[in-house]
Structure 1
């Protein structure tokens, strides 16, 4: 496992998995925190037990609806910081597991495919961090080697920019274009990649 964790490409995949998973939750959280419906129209008149009726019921709870939003926001932010990604991975697991079970319990069309992939990504992150998370079951931690690519400050900066952009975009707009949002995030992520790889290339190895 340590050999995989030291792999350059594997670390990049993990870094951007945190961005994607965290960004998705931040994107979905703000609408709840603002106290708005997840859908554009009321599901009040939809058949009982349908997805639209379920969302309307959660929306009508008020405090619980916003509580869900804050939970998603905190978990997403922790993941995107990179520094606190281990905690974010643990916090996010019950949230995404709950979302996945909901989507397979009702007719959400192909949504379970997306939520299933998000759950799988979270499980991959848990495995990645297991050397340190094993302390949760009273086992000694196994520290990673120092000076790893994923520990560079540049990824924290990129995560902060992605979080601020996503939160700002959702906070100040009730209508949104997911393609536009994702496109800007991709550009920010690409800029962070170029910056991070440049720092990694210029960093002198310790002797």
Structure 2
């Protein structure tokens, strides 16, 4: 039995399990709640975060804030997506709209070494779960033959707790949280003070302090400051 056949067999069992259904609702609400605050701020025309302008992500938000009506347009899109996610009948459309948004945010925070990489990564995984949950409804827009991805009738609702699945979920959360801690040698933090406070535990405190000064006082781009940090660390 190939992978597609195994998935086709497992899918109706998952759709008929109340715990998978509860988790889908949890992911929908979690994604919606993540979009609502940022969407409201943008629609109101306010700057999204309190990050300093010299922070790598602060540069981005400053530029985004000055894009005229494009800024509240993004916020409106996030609010519409949140509303669609909260309404069961439109949740599949909300999940489809949310994916490019949260994927873009996730890549952005990793590129700028932002401290929020963990939560955005988990939100992306939640979105992927929703896309899998609604696979029976979105499979028609996928570049596969429908016959190859046919889904049999759902089985009756059951209450058996999927220990293996939630064990994998917990493991993914742990890997994201712990893995992010070792992902970068240095991060700019959310402020100059947070950056310099982290230098005490750095292998090269002097190079770390130079990195913080490069970011927050000299206002140089992140890639330049990282290069200078690596040279100062003898890499």
* Common topology (TM > 0.5): yes
Distance of 1:132 and 1:75 partners within structure 2 = 18
Matched, 1:2 2:12: yes
Q: Is the 8 A contact 1:30 1:73 kept in 2?
A: yes
Partner of 2:131: 126
Larger radius of gyration: 2
Report SS of the residue matched to 2:45: coil
Partner of 1:30: 40
Q: CA offset at residue 107 of structure 1?
A: 2.6
Partner of 1:53: 59
Runs (4+) off by over 3 Å: 140-149
Report SS of the residue matched to 1:19: helix
CA deviation digits over 1:75-104, x for unaligned, max 9?
Answer: 111111121111111111111110001001
Report SS of the residue matched to 1:26: helix
Change beyond 3 A, Cα 1:127–1:103: same
Matched, 1:82 2:88: yes
Partner of 2:73: 67
Q: Is the 8 A contact 2:35 2:78 kept in 1?
A: yes
Matches within 5 A, 1:1-207: 1-40=11-50, 43=53, 46=54, 50-109=56-115, 111-137=116-142, 139=146, 142=151, 145=154
Unaligned runs of 5+ in 1: 150-207
Distance of 1:68 and 1:5 partners within structure 2 = 33
Change beyond 3 A, Cα 1:143–1:99: farther
Change beyond 3 A, Cα 1:20–1:106: same
Q: CA offset at residue 23 of structure 1?
A: 1.7
Distance of 1:105 and 1:15 partners within structure 2 = 30
TM-score by length of 2: 0.56
Paired positions, count:
144
Distance of 2:139 and 2:50 partners within structure 1 = 43
Q: CA offset at residue 139 of structure 1?
A: 2.8
Partner of 1:165: none
Partner of 1:199: none
